[in-house]
Amino acid sequence: MKKIISLLLSFCIAASCCAGFTVNAFAADKYFDKETIDYYKNLGLQGITLNVYNWGEYISAGDEDSMDVMGEFERLTGAKVNYTQFDSNEDMYSKLSGGGVSYDVIVPSDYMVDRLVDEDMLCELDYSNIPNFKNVRSDCKNLYFDPQQKYSVCYNTGTTVLIYNKKLVKETPNSWSVLWDEQYRGKVLMFNNPRDAFAIAQFMLGQNINTTDEQDWADAAELLAQQKDKVKPVYVMDEVFNLMESGEYAFATYYAGDFVLMNENNPDLGFCFPKEGVNAFYDAFCVPKCTKNKKGAEAFINFMMEPEVALQNQEFIYYASANDKVKNNTDSSLYGNEAVYPKRQPKSQPFKNLPQNILELENSLWTQIKSDKLSTENKSREKQIYIESAAVGGVVVICVAVSIVKKRKKKKEQDLSDLYE
């Protein structure tokens, strides 16, 4: 009897192990077919480490049953991924140009790719290691910042939008001008980065958002300073999610994909593409020259272009995928979404790399706007103080002059008195 029980227990344990193995095998095949699994297994990346530098919250991380993209890449290739995040293109550039770092994959935006190419900081890609490039949308190839398609593979694309709270805004907006309307004082959330903020003012003024005319930038800065005086905007980036979802603010400037996420949490939010124009942006995978494993970096880029991976990333971040199979996937939650994939493209301009003198001017003007040095209210107060100071000074001068005259008159009278004596 004991032998029978022992055999039964052994069978159960073996069955459990097999079941566990089956579950793991199934998990391994959850997203990929055998051909794909074998492809990555045979790349010879076992034991290497890849350093990936990406925007925050810009890849599916396994939350709420989504794909853990990094985990899947590690599982299929046997490589290790060190994943770090940046908040802006400028932060990424500063880290990269400062030296002493080694990144294998970076994800800059269009104008930053342009700058990195100009400064010879990117490797040319070997597309034989990126066969999934065939999945990239035709309108996301040979873009202005990489016309010969040497240095980048487009990841996502999108536009800026004007987001509004239907409960606080009486009429559906169609212009950036509402961000200067004093009735919404204290109810406006504005971009807390200079390039996007200046672009809105430049659209309002009918300028090219890549202008190199210093007077154009001064005029745009003056308009932003007027906005600060009139409506007291709150400058935010990722804080915009909680603030707009709370229903306390009337307007926000942000990105189309992020609106979709906010709208899920607050159905009273709407959006529009302002008639003056919006910024169209492209984020792309690149391999910097500081890489220590170019082949592994290209394998990672290829993995990110796998249709299932690209779909999972889109479902996590809600940006328009550069992957054609994702855009045309009718099972996608964003299929036909007008904010992310508008049927009628809005009037738009992309950002381009600016010369150093303009970049410095932009940063200087932005600092002055934020510190109220360009404030018309401050100028009025300073003018009033100047007038009052001048008036006080004038009174003092008159008083001193009268005093001097009186003293001289008294002295003269004393001298005459002495003479007659």
Identify whether residues 385 and 325 lie together within a single domain. no
419 and 349, same domain (yes or no)? no
Q: Quick one: 290 and 247 in the same domain?
A: no
Q: Please give the DSSP secondary-structure letter assigned to residue 162.
A: E
CA angle in degrees (0–180, nearest 5) for 282-293-56: 40
The pLDDT score that the predictor gives to residue 11 is 44
Q: Does 401 share its domain with 368?
A: no
pLDDT value, residue 19: 43
One domain for residues 172 and 243: yes
* Burial (CB count within 10 angstroms: exposed 0-12, middle 13-18, buried 19+), residue 235: middle
- Report strand pairing: 80-86 vs 49-55: parallel
Q: What is the pLDDT of residue 414?
A: 59
**Residues 84 and 37 occupy one common structural domain:** yes
Question: Would you say 191 and 203 are in contact if contact means Cβ atoms under 8 Å apart?
Answer: no
- d(C-alpha 406, C-alpha 226), whole Å: 51
The pLDDT score that the predictor gives to residue 87 is 86
Q: To which residue do tokens 């398609």 refer?
A: 149
Q: Are both 110 and 245 inside the same structural domain?
A: no
Phi and psi angles of residue 137, each rounded to the nearest 5 degrees, phi first = -55, 145
Residue 406, pLDDT score: 61
The CATH number covering residue 262 comes to: 3.40.190.10
Characterise 144 by phi-psi region: left (phi > 0), alpha (psi -120 to 50), beta (else): alpha
Tell whether 197 and 117 lie within a shared domain.
no
Give the count of domains, the chain: 4
CB 301 within 8 A of CB 133: no
Enumerate the β-bridge partners of residue 99.
none
pLDDT of residue 380: 53
pLDDT for residue 388:
56
Domain that holds residue 311: 26-157+284-354
- Residues 99 and 227 reside in one and the same domain: no
Please list the pLDDT of the chain residue by residue as tens digits (421 residues): 434 444 444 444 444 444 443 334 334 468 999 999 999 999 999 999 999 999 999 999 999 889 999 999 999 999 999 999 998 898 999 999 999 999 999 999 999 999 999 999 999 999 999 999 999 999 999 999 999 999 999 999 999 999 999 999 999 999 999 999 999 999 999 999 999 999 999 999 999 999 999 999 999 999 999 999 999 999 999 899 999 999 999 999 999 999 999 999 999 999 999 999 999 999 999 999 999 999 999 999 999 999 999 999 999 999 999 999 999 999 999 999 999 999 999 999 999 999 999 999 999 999 999 999 999 776 555 445 445 555 555 555 555 555 655 666 555 555 545 544 5
- The answer to whether residues 365 and 232 belong to one domain is yes
Per-residue exposure over 264-283, b if at least 16 CB sit within 10 Å of its own CB, e if not: eeeeebbbbbbebbbbbbbb
Predicted confidence at residue 173, as pLDDT, reads: 98
Same domain, 298 and 383: no
Residues 313 and 394 placed together within one structural domain of the fold: no
Report the C-alpha gap between 336 and 325 in whole angstroms: 13
Which pair of structure tokens corresponds to residue 162? 């004007």
